[in-house]
Structure 1
């Protein structure tokens, strides 16, 4: 039996049989709940659901406005729900003084870049049953926000790909901690673009990436708890000053960490993290 449900639109949501929590805009990581034992599809692609019926959905920077969520309940009844994303505008950020070799790499560097990109893809392809994906999250570093998700980057006057993370300016050597518990799937001290880089798997397709670190203090396969130190803030790779670039993915979709982090205070991370669920 296939039943049609209502439209899930704009902001916070409470609709049966699936409930969603979080801002419904491009770039958001949204959490959901269905009856335990249900199966779920987003736009015909299967979505993993944990034993308690929880799941995550990620919408990329340029996601289309309308999506279909299909839920098969434990009773076998299939329900369709339409998700409508609100529009989102992005800034242009111009950055000067970037090392020219990282803006226009040589042929020799391109081979290295391709190999490192494959390493990152493999690390992000790890999908575990960890239930830390559902948060709550804390900020991985303290400081002023100097770069935001989705902004078009122009390096030394040359347009490049959009920025897919949030930049936190902090002193070199300041601690970087795990925003949520996870397992380390990548720990590299010197990647070409991102310098000291760590990827943490939080489970069910959700992972965090930390870039430009001066020191990487964890190893692949290591399990860390929320707040545990994983490295130090730096300015390695394509960077013009000490900061942490925090990125998040839901499978292949690059999502905005701000969508799950505690609220900013006057453009800074809070002095004390107030642990809260996404969308609170």
Structure 2
């Protein structure tokens, strides 16, 4: 069976498994996340790779910025092809950055590699929490100045795409957890992202909050949705006060805007 791409897949009941088989909902589009439920203990794979299934039967997977046109989802003895909708991305030009932040000097490359390795370690975590299944909220309220997937041109030089959402807000304003989670990184000064917090929401879903002027949590602490984790700033590679918010499913970069919905006017 083939499931067409779309913004929301209705509950899909697959019969022939031990208890009414599974429900699947989410965004079948590049940058989207899908959440499923099946009978506890049912094995699930995505493109042949096993994914964690919680004791109550919940599982999750996502599609990166440049994901291909489909994935193969296997739940128990049923195999489905899910079509993934393509997106068109903007080109964003940012000028006025210090040259060392566009092309880092040789003497900081070792530091950058160490920091990137720690970020990759956190993104590889596969814990048993299922906080990703909550309704997400925005971690900061402000003007969206950078969107997911946009091709970045820094000081006139093409660079990697932007994998998050930039929210311009007053320096010092609160940044809160969009869902429950566990703090896995709390750094005051990373080279590119400055003050940085990473939260683990379970099953490989992590979120990142960058350029913070203040980090208000420590590694290992559990936080609840809406709890303060830091303050908006302009640390690292930044030209003004804003929050860079990112969400990942392991190595796949997801669009936070698809999770949180429209930006609220007030907290």
User: In the alignment, which residue of structure 2 is the partner of 1:47?
Assistant: 51
Q: Does structure 2 retain, via aligned residues, the 8 Å contact 1:187–1:219?
A: yes
TM-fit CA distance, 1:129: 1.1
Out of 3, 10, 14, the residue aligned to residue 7 of structure 1 is 3
Number of residue pairs matched by the alignment: 259
TM-fit CA distance, 1:130: 1.2
Structure 1: any 5+ residue segments left out of the alignment?
A: 73-77, 274-280
User: In the alignment, which residue of structure 1 is the partner of 2:24?
Assistant: 20
TM-score of the aligned structures, taking structure 1 as reference length: 0.90
TM-fit CA distance, 1:271: 2.6
User: In the alignment, which residue of structure 2 is the partner of 1:29?
Assistant: 33
TM-fit CA distance, 1:98: 1.1
For residues 128-157 of structure 1, the C-alpha deviation after alignment (integer angstroms, 9 at most, x for no partner) is: 111211111111001010000000000000
User: In the alignment, which residue of structure 2 is the partner of 1:70?
Assistant: 74
Is 1:254 aligned with 2:248?
no
User: In the alignment, which residue of structure 2 is the partner of 1:245?
Assistant: 244
Task: Name which of structure 1's ranges 88-97 and 122-131 shifts more when overlaid on structure 2.
Answer: 122-131
User: In the alignment, which residue of structure 2 is the partner of 1:153?
Assistant: 152
Which SS does the other structure have where 1:51 is aligned? coil
Q: Does structure 1 retain, via aligned residues, the 8 Å contact 2:8–2:26?
A: yes
Which SS does the other structure have where 1:9 is aligned? coil
TM-score of the aligned structures, taking structure 2 as reference length: 0.94
TM-fit CA distance, 1:19: 2.7
TM-fit CA distance, 1:31: 1.3
TM-fit CA distance, 1:70: 0.7
User: In the alignment, which residue of structure 1 is the partner of 2:17?
Assistant: none
User: In the alignment, which residue of structure 2 is the partner of 1:58?
Assistant: 62
Which SS does the other structure have where 1:113 is aligned? helix
Alpha-carbon distance in 2 for matches of 1:240, 1:46: 42
For residues 123-138 of structure 1, the aligned pairs below 5 Å read: 123-138=122-137
Structure 2: any 5+ residue segments left out of the alignment?
A: 15-21
User: In the alignment, which residue of structure 2 is the partner of 1:278?
Assistant: none
What do you get for the CA RMSD once the two structures are aligned?
Answer: 1.2
Q: Does structure 2 retain, via aligned residues, the 8 Å contact 1:178–1:226?
A: yes
Is 1:85 aligned with 2:89?
no
Alpha-carbon distance in 2 for matches of 1:40, 1:272: 40
